[in-house]
């Protein structure tokens, strides 16, 4: 029932995906609103009790099981996106990862595929849209989800709708998958608490820093890093060519 | 005769335009050798089991030995660097080195149990890019690229990029925001960096 409004939202986003002015690596026309959401997200994340990396927390073995399960339930979606991107290697790797880890790997709680050299090709519909030539659009910060772009957010909505997991396995799989993904999110959040602190607490302008880190890393993953991001500091000091 | 001379001159001119001044002095293998020594030192620090403050001190030494801190410090100051006085720059540069060593030295903890290996080196734009892989326990390997140049007069790295995150670009934004917070006061920025 949610599908129609969601699809309408995606269509509206894509037709309206704003284009960055030439030479600018950050396109943030909604900055004032984004900053309000950032303040909310920051205060929310600071309230979550989390380990400092040294604390007792969960043993790494348990954490790996939780993250492994969440990765496995996301693999069918990644295979579908790989097909839409024409990424044969990614489809084969993720497909075999799903076959091995969901069976021999006991629903992904163990990861025999990686031991066999099948390292996950992480992907999503946002990447599919990028491969299809859709622009990145404006930078957005969304409540609870954090940093994203118009294209990546549209991709998340589509991924939820087209998730092929609903066609395979146990009837309760979607509920388990959601719980697994949330638990994995909590584990990743606690593991990254040092990094989160260093970005959110230690940065002079945590909004601008998170935006810059997210965009650089996202563009790297999509192989769309802008050439002007790598610059020559010697030009201007010793006189460039 | 004049024809050949003209062609020779044109070819020489074209070659001179293609090769940035100084870049010809350093080969990809020299840059790779620098990063190999640097990575060996970093691996030794990661596996030393030392305290955080000792690791930061070690990282400061590594930075001093292998990085062109002068150029990095100036580049991170951006346009504000052009209006700073020589005395302000002389105080700011070592303070910046202290800030970088403390900030990235603290993050070394995440690398404990891991190892960095050198993969490849190739010319990019006016420098050499040396690709390394950070192998971490229980996580997918990270790609880390080092940008090496000899334009300061010695072979040194001036940037590193971890999974697309460019240190120069990131620190230029951060130092700019710190300076804004100090209302453009270089002395206060320097004091803040010395306290890091």
Q: What are the tokens at B89?
A: 């720059």
Residue % of chain A over a pLDDT of 90: 40
Percent of residues, chain B, with pLDDT higher than 90 = 65
Report residue B140's pLDDT band, with 50, 70 and 90 as the boundaries: confident
pLDDT beyond 60 at A54: no
Q: Kindly determine whether residue B125 and residue A120, on different chains, have CB atoms separated by under 8 Å.
A: no
> Looking at the predicted structure, is the pLDDT value of residue B21 above 70?
no
Task: Tell me the pLDDT of chain A averaged across its residues.
Answer: 83
Nearest CA to B92 among B168, B191, B170?
B191
Distances (CA, A) of A50 to A44, A56, B106, B138: 12, 11, 19, 20
Distance from CA of A202 to the nearest CA of B (A): 10
Q: How far is CA B58 from the centre of its chain?
A: 16
β-strand B142-149 against B156-162: which pairing, if any? antiparallel
Burial B82-109 (b: 16+ CB within 10 A, else e): eebeeebbebbbebbbbbbbbbbbbebe
The whole-number pLDDT of residue B137 equals 73
- Give strand pairing partners of B63: none
Query: How many residue pairs bridge chain A and chain B with CB atoms within 8 Å of each other?
Result: 90
CB contact under 8 A, A212 and B158: no
> Radius of gyration over alpha carbons of chain B, in Å?
20
The pLDDT of residue B139 is above 90: no
- Asked if pLDDT for residue B97 goes beyond 60, the answer is yes
The CA-based angle A191-A193-A194, given to 5 degrees, is 105
Q: Give CA angle at A234 (B167, B151), nearest 5°.
A: 110
Please tell me the distance from the alpha carbon of residue B117 to that of residue B107, in angstroms, as a whole number.
18
Q: Is B180 left (phi over 0), alpha (psi -120 to 50) or beta?
A: alpha
Each residue of A126-175: pLDDT tens digit? 999 999 999 999 999 999 889 999 999 999 999 988 888 877 766 677 77
Q: What is the pLDDT of residues B112-138, one digit of tens each?
A: 788 899 999 999 989 999 999 998 876
How far is Cα B155 from Cα B117, in angstroms, rounded to an integer? Answer: 20
What is the per-residue pLDDT for A235? 82
Q: Which of B17, B138, B151 sits opposite A234 (nearest CB)?
A: B151
Q: What pLDDT does A241 receive?
A: 37
Strand ranges for chain B from DSSP E: 115-124, 127-135, 142-149, 156-162, 165-166
Is the model more confident about B161 or about A63? Answer: B161
Whether the per-residue pLDDT at B52 is higher than 60: the answer is yes
Task: Answer with the residue of higher pLDDT: A123 or A195.
Answer: A123
pLDDT of residue A25: 83
Q: What is the predicted ipTM?
A: 0.82
Nearest to B173 among A212, A230, A241 (CB): A212
What confidence score (pLDDT) does residue B11 get? 53
pTM for the whole structure: 0.83
Nearest-Cα distance to chain B for A237, in Å, is 8
């Amino acid at each position: 029932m949610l599908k129609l409004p969601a699809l309408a939202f995606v269509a509206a986003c894509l037709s309206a995906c704003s284009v960055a002015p030439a030479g600018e690596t950050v396109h943030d026309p909604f900055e004032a609103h984004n900053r309000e959401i950032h303040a909310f997200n920051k205060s929310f994340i600071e309230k979550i009790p989390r380990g400092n990396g040294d604390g007792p927390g969960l043993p790494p073995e348990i954490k790996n099981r939780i993250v492994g399960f969440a990765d496995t339930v996301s693999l069918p979606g990644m295979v579908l996106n790989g097909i839409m991107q024409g990424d044969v290697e990614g489809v084969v790797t993720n497909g075999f990862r799903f076959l091995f880890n969901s069976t021999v790997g006991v629903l992904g709680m163990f990861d025999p595929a990686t031991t066999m050299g099948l390292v996950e090709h992480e992907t999503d519909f946002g990447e599919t849209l990028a491969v299809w030539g859709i622009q990145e659009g404006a930078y957005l910060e969304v409540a609870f989800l954090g940093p994203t772009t118009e294209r990546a957010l549209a991709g998340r909505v589509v991924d939820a709708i087209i998730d092929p997991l609903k066609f395979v396995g146990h009837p309760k799989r979607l509920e388990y998958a959601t719980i697994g993904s949330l638990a994995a999110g909590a584990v990743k959040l606690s593991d990254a608490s040092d990094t989160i602190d260093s970005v959110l607490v230690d940065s002079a302008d945590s909004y601008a820093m998170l935006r810059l880190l997210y965009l650089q890393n996202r563009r790297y993953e999509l192989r769309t890093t802008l050439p002007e991001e790598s610059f020559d500091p010697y030009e201007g000091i010793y006189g460039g060519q | 005769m004049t024809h050949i001379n003209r062609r020779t001159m044109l070819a020489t001119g074209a070659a001179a335009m293609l090769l940035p001044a100084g870049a010809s002095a350093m080969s990809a293998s020299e840059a790779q050798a620098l990063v190999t020594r640097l990575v060996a030192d970093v691996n030794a620090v990661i596996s030393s089991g030392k305290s955080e403050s000792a690791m930061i001190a070690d990282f400061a030494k590594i930075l001093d030995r292998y990085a062109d801190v002068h150029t990095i410090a100036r580049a991170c100051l951006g346009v504000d660097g052009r209006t700073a006085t020589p005395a302000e720059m002389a105080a700011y540069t070592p303070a910046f080195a202290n800030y970088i060593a403390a900030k990235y030295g603290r993050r070394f903890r995440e690398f404990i149990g891991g190892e960095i290996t050198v993969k490849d080196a190739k010319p990019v734009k006016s420098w050499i890019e040396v690709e390394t892989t950070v192998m971490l326990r229980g996580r997918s390997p990270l790609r880390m690229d080092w940008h090496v140049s000899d334009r300061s007069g010695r072979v040194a790295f001036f940037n590193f990029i971890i999974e697309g995150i460019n240190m120069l670009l990131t620190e230029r934004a951060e130092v700019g925001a710190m300076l804004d917070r100090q209302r453009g006061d270089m002395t206060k920025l320097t004091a803040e960096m010395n306290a890091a």
